[in-house]
Structure 1
Amino acid sequence: MNIKRIMVCLFAAVFMMLAVAGCGKSVTSGETSVEVKGTSDEPGKKLSIVTTIFPEYDWVMNILGENPAGAEVTMLLDNGVDLHSYQPTAADMIKISACDMFIYVGGESDEWVEDALKEAVNKDMVVVNLLEVLGDKVKAEEVVEGMQGEDEHDHDHDHEDGDDHEHEEGEEHDHEHEEGEEEMDEHVWLSLRNASVICDTLEADLEKIDGGNVDVYKKNLESYKEKLASLDEEYKKAVGEAGKDTVLFGDRFPFRYLVDDYSLNYYAAFVGCSAETEASFETITFLADKVNELSLNCILTIEKNNQKIAKTIADNTAAGNQKILTLDSMQSTTAQDVKDGASYISIMQSNLEVLKEALK
């Protein structure tokens, strides 16, 4: 049993004690106040929607629009800890248990969800699993040429400076697999086309919990999907006009869905869900040689990376002067970022500008 599963079981026990102590009362943990109430049919009850990651949260907020139902929308991963490292708190478990709609990605990082849902007090909860929504659009995680495999380094390593993927002492990596087992790439939100499909499902499920505002939600969905489609066209145009068709990451690579949408090639140090932070000599050499071979002007990283690997790759190229740019995978978007105006569209727009530069 991995650490996440143990922690979820402990939080479930705490939840049951709190539920017995006083259903329908506020339970406060730190700065989090959770209103535990009865069924969604209770008069005057505010709708509660819980999301795990930022893209889900932002999609729901756009479909709600002016939020005529006054729904409370919660983003659990709001403090910079990314999907692969997140462990739910007792307050999170309570929030999920009583909500009307729960949205999560559904990959290996969400193994804790099964246990959390078993403790739900709202048996009418609408549950949205993004991987299930997308079905055969979900891709297997792939190891491309030059990419460092998970077994090439001991996992008992320190994480990069500024990296929020901290683990408890002795914690094992949660993405172990049986030999030959295929891991699905969780980062489905990094495709604008996937986002459009998911938003269709979110709107339909909002209708289930709030049938009184169907017309509003349909109108908001249509407007939002037009924005997604417009940005998708901008990406297609930019890639079509680009001088290059390959990107190279001195980092882990969560952008497979994005590059596949536009038929781009890629090289990277690690797969998207990797916990590795130290690249081998062979990996650095291969990537530096690829930069030389393809005359790449930029090396990419994801957000909150100290760029050490990218800089080392650049230092080992013939020119040694490549720009190091960041594509935002939205795995560490915080509540403060949201408060400051971050949105799924704005981040994907910024990523487009970075991509244009990288493909020059």
Structure 2
Amino acid sequence: MKKFLILLCIFAVVTLASAGITKGLKSKEAAPLDEFTIVTSFYPVYIATKNIANGVDGVKVVNMTENHSGCLHDYQLTTSDMRKLEDADVFVMNGGGMEGFIEEVAAKYPDLPVIDASEGIVLIGPAAGHHHEHGHDEEPEEYEHHHEANAHVWMDPVRYKKQIKTISKKLENLDKLNAKAYEKNQKAYEKKIDLIEEQLNALKDENHTEIITFHEAFSYLADYLGNDIVYCMDLDNESGLSAGEIAEVINEVKKHNVRALFTETANRDSIANNISAETNAKVYVLNSLTSDKDSLDAYINGMQKNINVLKGAFGK
């Protein structure tokens, strides 16, 4: 009887162990072993990449930073960011100096392919007292180094489409199995951008109206439309602007007879309002599209709202 009980216990243990192994094998088989994971640096390239990979089987797009985090100026990598990069098959970044942490990423993940969406795109200068004009295909000598340039490329639809194409082509080379799907999505998304471009073309300014902006992202819109920025302040917050600087802006408004002040949705607009109260210039609020909902049409909807604001500002 004792021997029988021992054999019965051994049988039970073996049965449970077998069940556990079988369950483990099933769980492992259920996991998407061949999943291709794309990690993006922040919101604008996340939305672009998400459109390119939309509906492609076995492909997952993950945004490294939060969708509401805004630009990556002085951004420090977190433990959560590192965990996402651990699982990445490719890292897509905006480029142009936006991701100051890219050297750290390269050092920790030397084998991780990196797509620079701004590769080959002419960048315009940093936020400064005056806007330096140049065309899309002219390389400004004073801005050869990316870290000195304005990285908000996506605000210009022509440059943005170049970013989309670069991301798509690089993904096609890295993930050849889904190359045709990426290309199809790229072309479909570009057609949506074409409609935005057509509306912006109707707002192009042959008179080179002089404006003042409170976010360097709008330099790309001004460059595209033909506006002249007489003064640009990149305000991530309002704490650093002195009374003397505000007085300087007011002088510029009066000197150039500026009628439009463009501020950003993410910033408090009291400085712009104060300047408006001292002059005849009116405040208009634009969206730099650096954060919003997790939506495929986020860029399209955001730019459409910007176009409506611009129509009001320029009376078109």
The TM-score range, normalised by the shorter chain, is: 0.7 to 0.9
Cα deviations across residues 100-123 of structure 1 (Å, max 9, x unaligned)? 1101133444222112222227x2
Larger RCO (alpha carbons 8 Å, 6+ apart): 1
TM-score, scaled relative to structure 2: 0.75
Counterpart amino acid of residue 359 in structure 1? F
CA drift at 1:197: 0.8
1:309 aligns with: 271
Q: Match for residue 233 of structure 1?
A: 198
Instruction: Output the CA distance in 2 between the equivalents of 1:223 and 1:207.
Output: 16
Q: Counterpart in 2 of 1:266?
A: 229
Partner Cα distance (2:299, 2:163) in 1: 13
Task: Choose from 119, 122, 127 the match for 2:114.
Answer: 127
Name the SS for the 2:229 alignment partner: strand
- 1:351 aligned onto 2:306: yes
Partner residue of 1:248? 212
Q: Aligned letter for 1:315?
A: A
Looking at structure 1, the residues matched to 127 and 283 of structure 2 have their Cα atoms a distance apart, in angstroms, of: 24
Q: 1:181 to 1:223 in 2, by over 3 A?
A: closer
Secondary structure at 2:95's aligned position in 1? Answer: coil
Distance between the aligned counterparts of 2:61 and 2:198, measured in 1?
33
2:71 corresponds in structure 1 to 82
Alignment of 1:75-224 (within 5 A): 75-120=64-109, 123=111, 125-131=112-118, 133-135=119-121, 137-145=122-130, 183-224=148-189
Task: Show the counterpart of 2:27.
Answer: none
For the Cα contact (< 8 Å) 1:46–1:72, is it kept in 2? Answer: no
Say if 2:212 and 2:230, in contact at 8 Å, map to a contact too: yes
1:59 Cα deviation after fit: 0.9
Contact 1:104-1:129 at 8 Å conserved across structures: yes
- Contact kept, 8 Å, 2:90 with 2:113, in 1: the verdict is yes
Among candidates 205, 217, 220, match of residue 257 of structure 1: 220
User: Please, which runs of 5 or more residues in structure 2 have no aligned partner?
Assistant: 1-30, 132-144
Tell which deviates more after alignment, 45-54 or 261-270. Answer: 261-270
Contact 1:63 1:224 in 2 (8 A): yes
Instruction: Show the counterpart of 1:327.
Output: 286
Whether the 8 Å contact between 2:93 and 2:116 is mirrored in structure 1 is yes
CA radius of gyration, larger in: 2
For residues 245 and 188 of structure 1, the distance between their equivalents in structure 2, rounded to whole angstroms, comes to 22
Q: Distance in 2 between matches of 1:198 and 1:81?
A: 19
Structure 1, unmatched stretches of 5+, are: 1-41, 147-179
Q: Distance in 2 between matches of 1:64 and 1:109?
A: 23
CA distance in 1, matches of 2:260, 2:83: 45
Which has the larger helix fraction? 2
Q: State how far apart, in whole Å, the 2-side matches of 1:85 and 1:181 are.
A: 15
Q: State the Cα distance separating 1:193 from its structure 2 match.
A: 0.8
C-alpha distance 43-326 of structure 1, shift in aligned 2 (>3 A)? closer
| Distance (whole Å) between structure 1 residues aligned to residue 69 and residue 60 of structure 2 | 24
Counterpart Cα distance in 2 of 1:45 and 1:185 = 38
Q: CA RMSD in A?
A: 3.1
Over the matched positions of the two proteins, sequence identity in percent amounts to 24
Report deviation, 1:181.
11
